[in-house]
Amino acid sequence: MTTDVTGARPIPTDDQVTIPALFDDPYPIYRRLRSHAPVHWIPAVNRYMVIGYHACRTVERDQERFSADETNSLMKRSMGHSMLRKDDPEHAVERASYGGVLRPKAIKNHWRAVFDHNARTYLDRLREIGPGADLIRDFAAPYAAENLRVIMGFYEATQQDMQRWSQTMIDGTGNYADDPEVWRMAKESSDEVDEAIDRALPYLRSHPDDSLLSRLADLPVPLESIRANMKMTIGGGLNEPRDALGTTVWALLSDPDQRALVAADPARWSDAFEESVRWVAPIGMYPREATRDTELDGFHVPAGARLGVVVGAANRDPEVFTNPDRYDIDRPKQPHLAFGGGEHFCAGAWVARSSVAQVALPMLFDTLPRLRLDPERPARAGGWVFRGMRTLPVLWD
């Protein structure tokens, strides 16, 4: 099938964008680019960045024109060929192998109790450290990691292992600077995960439980696919809830009016969470590849073009979201793209919503009602492919 590109405009190039500037604060860059076109060729990252909301939705919902199976994918190099880098029907088969392990019924029956236990455990440890602790290092990261360790079935690993594996492999997927040390560390973690899976599968076949690896142990899924999909899950399954939790806390502690809204109505923790992932999408960009010459929002995309679907920019598109740079849980509801869409909608979205919005956030603010930012140590955010709070020093009475 061909696409008529007659009359489609050439995509503009912007060679002012740099990777360090994107890491520090991508949003002014996105605003500047969006004022000219919804898609730009960015030499620094060697791909076309799709930044308009409607253009991003078009790309993520059209597998025929925009394939997830990108050539020379950084994610494939870092984690293997997971379902995220496959189109249907191959993607659908592997996603179905996850069954109901990450869905709302399993969360209610099995994982909600795990989230409650882990939140209390790491809140107690946070209180032991005392005021001046870093909320990311001392609560959000170990909490998300331990939840994921149990859900996935890595019974011999620790939450520290999960954090190290996740960060180093994620760094590989975003290694647009082609740093050899980043690749070395990603490979080391990838090998460790393979070894952990190889040890866990035989045990879980004879000692089944409700974990993801236990389910996969008895299915006719190739070992290579299990390994790649587990690594993909370690990445997104840890950083999304960790960063959503950290960003939401930072937003609420920075804006007393917003904090007062959730304090007055605990049912609004869900609104606080959804607005947080719209405002700062934990996974800010993911790749696609054009399967043929085609048109996107009036612009000519050449066959083989490497695209970056920049949901971090799409979620702040003023054509869709009023005053998009403001964190506002009262804003009119519009569907954000933080969890993707279509066939590749994030399988861990329900886990993130439950563990963060239903458990960690209300428990944290109930336990530490005088929680506040540390004025002597400013919080710091970073990232653009993956974005979240790097540090979040806090005080309480």
> Is the pTM here over 0.85, yes or no?
yes
- The pLDDT tens digits along the chain (397 residues) read 556 677 889 999 999 999 999 999 999 999 999 999 999 999 999 999 999 999 999 999 999 999 999 998 888 999 999 998 999 999 888 888 888 899 999 999 999 999 999 999 999 999 999 998 999 999 999 999 999 999 999 999 999 999 999 999 989 988 878 899 999 999 999 999 999 999 999 999 999 999 999 999 988 889 999 999 999 999 889 999 999 999 999 999 999 999 999 999 999 999 999 999 999 999 999 999 999 999 999 999 999 999 999 999 999 999 999 999 999 999 988 899 999 877 777 888 999 999 999 999 999 999 999 999 999 999 999 999 999 999 999 999 8
Domain extent for 90: 9-395
pLDDT digits (tens, 9 = 90+) for 103-146: 999 999 999 999 999 999 999 999 999 998 999 999 999 999 99
**How far apart are the C-alpha atoms of 386 and 127, rounded to whole Å?**
29
Cβ-based neighbours of 95, under 8 Å, separated by 6 or more: 83, 347
Phi, psi dihedral angles at 389 (to 5 degrees): -80, 125
| Contact between residue 281 and residue 315 where contact means Cβ atoms under 8 Å apart | yes
Amino acid at position 309, single letter = V
**How far apart are the C-alpha atoms of 60 and 309, rounded to whole Å?**
8
Give me 163's structure tokens.
């954090």
In a domain, 3, yes or no: no
- Residues paired with residue 295 on neighbouring β-strands, in sequence order: 300
**How far apart are the C-alpha atoms of 192 and 231, rounded to whole Å?**
11
Triad 345, 229, 19: Cα angle to 5°: 70
**How far apart are the C-alpha atoms of 58 and 53, rounded to whole Å?**
9
C-alpha R_g of the chain: 21
Phi, psi dihedral angles at 392 (to 5 degrees): -150, 75
**How far apart are the C-alpha atoms of 20 and 181, rounded to whole Å?**
17
| Contact between residue 374 and residue 245 where contact means Cβ atoms under 8 Å apart | no
Give me 31's structure tokens.
């605003």
Q: Which of 219, 278, 218, 225 is nearest to 247 (CA)?
A: 278
In a domain, 387, yes or no: yes
In a domain, 134, yes or no: yes
How many CB atoms are closer than 10 A to CB 213? 22
**Residue 177 confidence (pLDDT):** 82
**Cis check: omega of the bond before 362, within 30 degrees of 0:** no
In a domain, 75, yes or no: yes
23: CATH = 1.10.630.10
Strands lying side by side in the sheet with 66-67: 39-42, 47-50, 306-309, 286-290, 66-67
Phi-psi region of 50 (alpha: psi -120 to 50; beta: other; left: phi over 0): beta
In a domain, 4, yes or no: no
Q: Which of 312, 324, 242 is nearest to 283 (CA)?
A: 312
**Residue 7 confidence (pLDDT):** 81
For helices 223-254 and 269-279, give the axis angle rounded to 10 degrees. Answer: 110
In a domain, 67, yes or no: yes
**Residue 82 confidence (pLDDT):** 92
The SS3 assignment for 297 reads coil
Give me 380's structure tokens.
């710091």
**How far apart are the C-alpha atoms of 234 and 316, rounded to whole Å?**
27
The number of domains in the chain is 1
Q: Could you tell me whether strands 299-301 and 9-10 are parallel, antiparallel, or unpaired per DSSP bridges?
A: parallel
**How far apart are the C-alpha atoms of 48 and 309, rounded to whole Å?**
9
In a domain, 276, yes or no: yes
Tokens 């929680």 -> residue: 371
Q: Could you tell me whether strands 299-301 and 380-382 are parallel, antiparallel, or unpaired per DSSP bridges?
A: unpaired
Q: Which of 177, 329, 168, 349 is nearest to 263 (CA)?
A: 329
How many CB atoms are closer than 10 A to CB 69? 18
- Residues paired with residue 67 on neighbouring β-strands, in sequence order: 289
Phi, psi dihedral angles at 156 (to 5 degrees): -95, -15
pLDDT digits (tens, 9 = 90+) for 307-342: 999 999 999 999 999 999 999 999 988 899 999 877
Element (H, E) at 41: strand 39-42
In a domain, 188, yes or no: yes
